[in-house]
Structure 1
Amino acid sequence: MHSIRKDPDHEMHRDLAKYGEMTTLHLGSKTWILLNSQRVVSEIIAKKGSLTNGCSPMPVASGIVSRYGRSLLLPPSGWTEKRRVMHSLLSGTALRQYAAWQELESTQLLAEYLFQPELWYRHHYRYANSVVHRIVLGGRLVKTGKELADLQDVVTHSIGSIGSSMVDWFPELESLSKFLHLWRAHWEKLAVWNYNLYRSWWVPVREQINAGIAPPSFVRDVLLHDDTKFTGDDQEAMYVAMQIIEAGSDTTREALNIFAMASLYHPDVMTDMDKMPYICASIKEVLRWRPIFPFTPDHVLTSDMEFEGYHFPAGVGLVINGIAVCEECEDPDIFNPERWLDGHETDAAHGLWQFGGGRHICVGYRLAQRGLSLNIACLVMCYDYAAAGSYNSHRLNHHSTDEPFPVKVTVRSEEHAKLIKEDATRNGVLETKWGRSEI
């Protein structure tokens, strides 16, 4: 357990895959089956989703820290209703509506790059958060830089809590008498901070909806709408909305940062990004080349399963070894989008498991794919990236709120700069006071 958590270059993930397509691990009182190849992931996670849709108990990460509100960490009884309402984000009508918002925020991203190139990494997060904020809560983002950093810290700490406590590996410890719960005070303090930050984003939106003055949003038109009949209470609704904000903004930010790293490490590839199929393939390669999720959350069997002569009892966790699966190709350390030009390049979930799979697949992956396509195409067209110091292409420093690695961004020409300014002026996104922390 300790070795896996202290493995920044993921060598253990690769070593564990050397045993074959599946590797059994005993971690505390839990049993994991690592799925180390595309084939077994497809056969088990994709094709047996009705059996692999459970989640193992995590009294700290899921219980105390998340107050049983983050659906990704819950068993089917806890996430079915939440995912039902979230699926409205996947409808074709909704995606077409969101496209205009994504284009507007992308226009601002290009202008932010022009005026503050040294804050490229902050612009990634502002873009991603602003898009998902407008979709989920309604209205353009008006949060300060500190408020955005605080939300990113919530994501960092909540993800960091998974597996950090011995109690999550030995859930039986929760049954001890309360006076023996020496771990509880630390995690409850984190939970209160998380809850209060969520409330600061949630309550104003809910009050606007109650007053009848809220703009269109997922919360107004689906989550709290009478016709939708979400069965959860106010706190559960808040966690549904805010976990979409978290997931939708943080993973897009990380993917854009990986794109920046790929631009440093493989600048030759960027010259070919003028064709849209190649852009789509490049997005899949960004997610494969440096996986955001080395391990997926475990897919726990809800009943016994037989597979190719093996018997897996209910309660076993099936975990995608993201490093091994993403490196199951020729020259895995080479950034090569052409490996995805197979007719399925426009489907980011085909042959790639960074959005999860089966019934746990990310409900907003198509939205994320559209946003990445738009922004990577525009950034490649308008800007050059160069290293501004030494870096390690395997160290993305995803959880840093400072510059994750040294990058010098320059606009390609004065003509490009002129077009960016004209487009930003036409769309009304130049009112930002450049240079202030709110950006």
Structure 2
Amino acid sequence: MAIHNNIASIARSDPVTTIAVSIVILLGLLFVALKEFFKPIGLRSTRSKPPGPRGLPIFGHLLEIRKQQNDPDSKWLRSLAQYGEMATVHLGSKTWIFLNSQRVVSEIIAKRGGATNGRSPMPISSGIVSRHGRSLLLPPSGWTERRRVMHHLLSGSALKQYGEWQELESTQMLAEYLKQPHRWYRHHYRYANSVVHRIALGERLVKSSKDLEDLQNVVTFFVGSIGRSTIDWFPDLDRLPRFMQFWRPYWERLGNWNEGIYRSWWEPVKQQIEDGTAPASFVRDVLLNKDTKYTGSDQDAMYVAMQLIEAGSDTTREALNIFIMASLYYPRAFKKARSEIDRVCGSNAKRLPVLADMDDLSYICAMVKETLRWRPIFQLTPDHCVTSDFDFEGYHFSAGTGFVINEVVVCNECEDPEDFKPERWLDGHEQDAAHGLLAVRWRLFINIARLVYCFDYTAMGPIDSRILNHHSTDEPFPVKVTIRSTAHEKLILEEATRLGVLQFAECRM
């Protein structure tokens, strides 16, 4: 009552002050209302959660997570390890639980996948940019059908065929290295794209350098869109009337461009299938085969095929770049790897390594694993969203909470984590892709083995092993590539000629 009387007294004596006070009160009420409306999922329950840093009201730690994207030391991500194996972080209206150890990753992501296989809504990157077509960002209802048809890629006969294609395409990559060593980083992408292109669409890659650059840019812009817009962190804003969504035109232009690039790859293959002239492929024999009964639309099918190509291409390219960087910084490991291959294939360029040599090249297998551990390709991946409430080790996680693997911290869960030491993987499980790492791509094996065997690398300027500049079509760091010997040059030319790929390597100059 006293407060009311004081306000009335002020109103009579000073109207300007009254207006100012009223505005302050209204702004305060608006702030409280917004804070309540956008309250992170993890704060909507009072039950216990893992500790974590305090953030700003409403925005939480959005500023920190955006700054860390340009921090080669990943200081903010590393700082989360101080809270233990799990750290709770609020980001806009989302709550993420950062998993900081391999143990909790296994317990929560692997063993409790039935409850943590969702995705939080991302109206921009998943909706507008991806047309709800990239399964990476979709909830179970969106990717179940896509995953069903993708399982056909894992049959025994298919995997054998893929291995033969890998050896052929890697031989062309060696010839490209020989003919144009200064474009080494482009050869990595051409190789990776060609293998997965043949698996998905049935033909060897005959696209121009511009086509490849466009597809690589599709990946770069898509990855860059994840979490870039505030709308992805406050997805309820997507419910506003369309005329109020001032952000849509920019993202729709990006989505239209993305779809246009996809269609330039997709339509010719689809036409061949309709004409009955298409070679065997995942698209012809599974995705668009009537017996498979894929239930998605034509656009859905296009995104299934094209995301297979873009994902398989880009991760392999980046991993090979990391391997080159490690070779420059840790020449001892490179020499040890070469010594192992020389024992198997002969130091005098007797023959190229093949996939069948894997059991005899344990150090190369260990180098593949260490490459992926030393510099994780993705510091963060989309969250694994809780689809139903569950408890774990005294903590309660409500539906909608996201679990995120803190790759930087998890991959540093070893002695001397900044050192590149393939020896740490020499544990009798070198050839087991699933042992010790979340994912290992054995497409790296054949290329790392052959590059170590045939080429030498020298830094041609200042380099920093923390800065890889992946997200660019330019050279990621300055390197001079030289052939090991005239005997190795002759071996490459002979193998490329025998397999009929030398002409393709020469015409790409």
Q: TM-score, normalised by structure 2?
A: 0.82
Among candidates 274, 289, 293, match of residue 378 of structure 2: 293
Deviation at 1:226, TM superposition (A): 1.1
Asked whether 1:198 is paired with 2:262, we answer yes
Provide the C-alpha distance between the structure 1 equivalents of 2:458 and 2:282, rounded to a whole number of angstroms: 39
- SS of 1:243's partner is helix
| Larger Rg over CA atoms | 2
Provide the C-alpha distance between the structure 1 equivalents of 2:430 and 2:118, rounded to a whole number of angstroms: 30
Question: Cα RMSD (Å) of the superposition?
Answer: 1.1
Structure 2 equivalent of residue 403 of structure 1? 475
Deviation at 1:279, TM superposition (A): 1.1
Structure 2 equivalent of residue 412 of structure 1? 484
Asked whether 1:219 is paired with 2:283, we answer yes
Asked whether 1:278 is paired with 2:363, we answer yes
**Per-residue displacement from partner, 1:51-105 (whole Å, max 9, x unpaired)?**
1100000000000000000001000000000011111122222110111111110
Percent of aligned positions that are identical: 67
Deviation at 1:150, TM superposition (A): 0.4
Structure 2 equivalent of residue 426 of structure 1? 498
Asked whether 1:351 is paired with 2:436, we answer yes
Structure 2: which amino acid aligns with 1:305? Answer: F
Deviation at 1:433, TM superposition (A): 6.5
Provide the C-alpha distance between the structure 2 equivalents of 1:349 and 1:199, rounded to a whole number of angstroms: 35
Asked whether 1:27 is paired with 2:99, we answer no
Among candidates 322, 325, 329, match of residue 261 of structure 1: 325
The change in CA–CA distance for 1:83 and 1:180 in structure 2 (over 3 A counts) is: same
**Per-residue displacement from partner, 1:103-162 (whole Å, max 9, x unpaired)?**
110100111111111100000000000000000011110000011000000000011100
**Per-residue displacement from partner, 1:247-306 (whole Å, max 9, x unpaired)?**
000000000000000110101101222251111111110000000011121000110111
Provide the C-alpha distance between the structure 2 equivalents of 1:257 and 1:311, rounded to a whole number of angstroms: 41
Asked whether 1:335 is paired with 2:420, we answer yes
State the structure with bigger RCO (CA 8 A, min sep 6), 1 or 2.
1
**Per-residue displacement from partner, 1:213-247 (whole Å, max 9, x unpaired)?**
10111000111111111110100000000000010
Provide the C-alpha distance between the structure 1 equivalents of 2:505 and 2:322, rounded to a whole number of angstroms: 28
**Per-residue displacement from partner, 1:343-373 (whole Å, max 9, x unpaired)?**
22223332213x4xxxxxxxxx6xx31x211
Structure 1 equivalent of residue 294 of structure 2? 230
Among candidates 395, 403, 406, match of residue 321 of structure 1: 406
Unpaired segments ≥5 residues, structure 2: 1-61, 341-359
Structure 2 equivalent of residue 5 of structure 1? 66
Deviation at 1:423, TM superposition (A): 0.7
Provide the C-alpha distance between the structure 1 equivalents of 2:309 and 2:99, rounded to a whole number of angstroms: 29
Structure 1: which amino acid aligns with 2:448? Answer: I
Structure 1 equivalent of residue 191 of structure 2? 127
Asked whether 1:49 is paired with 2:113, we answer yes
- SS of 1:42's partner is helix
- SS of 2:90's partner is strand
- SS of 2:502's partner is coil
Structure 2 equivalent of residue 311 of structure 1? 396
Structure 1: which amino acid aligns with 2:424? Answer: R
Structure 1 equivalent of residue 444 of structure 2? 372
**Larger deviation, residues 395-404 vs 275-284:** 275-284
- SS of 1:291's partner is coil
Provide the C-alpha distance between the structure 1 equivalents of 2:469 and 2:505, rounded to a whole number of angstroms: 28
**Per-residue displacement from partner, 1:369-418 (whole Å, max 9, x unpaired)?**
1x211010000000111111101101111111010001111111111101
Asked whether 1:392 is paired with 2:467, we answer no
Unpaired segments ≥5 residues, structure 1: 356-364
Provide the C-alpha distance between the structure 1 equivalents of 2:312 and 2:381, rounded to a whole number of angstroms: 17
Structure 2 equivalent of residue 102 of structure 1? 166
- SS of 1:431's partner is helix
Aligned pair count reads: 424
Provide the C-alpha distance between the structure 1 equivalents of 2:467 and 2:505, rounded to a whole number of angstroms: 32
- SS of 2:504's partner is coil
Native 8 Å contact 2:179 2:505 kept in 1: no
Structure 1: which amino acid aligns with 2:363? Answer: Y
Provide the C-alpha distance between the structure 2 equivalents of 1:379 and 1:54, rounded to a whole number of angstroms: 40
Native 8 Å contact 2:172 2:505 kept in 1: no
